[in-house]
Structure 1
């Protein structure tokens, strides 16, 4: 054990492993657990307001034919 302590004490700081710590999360809502903050960051996909007004191109058969022709290439 002494041999290992001597090796560690006699090595340069640049040769030793770096120590990292986790930084605290700033400005989090009150009552939120900091461990769960990353899971609350993205509430979901962005949905445009006029999403219901989008028109489909062609009829159902035309869309299937176009999809079939694109998948054959």
Structure 2
């Protein structure tokens, strides 16, 4: 499964990003591209996002590496 497929699977399963104000928002279709670009702009190796999964409270972080790889 590619990172793009993984992100799309998260979106289909109702995973939401948690914004700074605590509200939830859908993962945008261009999320992976934008997150990878931001990571490269900031010259960091990865960026971590807080997420909420209505079916599994165990996974609360989503990391995007500068190479475009995604992991929970």
Question: If the length of structure 2 is used for normalisation, what is the TM-score?
Answer: 0.22
Kindly indicate which of the two structures has a greater share of residues assigned to helix: 1
Q: Which has the larger radius of gyration?
A: 1
Higher relative contact order (CA 8 A, sep 6+): 2
Kindly indicate which of the two structures has a greater share of residues assigned to strand: 2
Question: If the length of structure 1 is used for normalisation, what is the TM-score?
Answer: 0.21
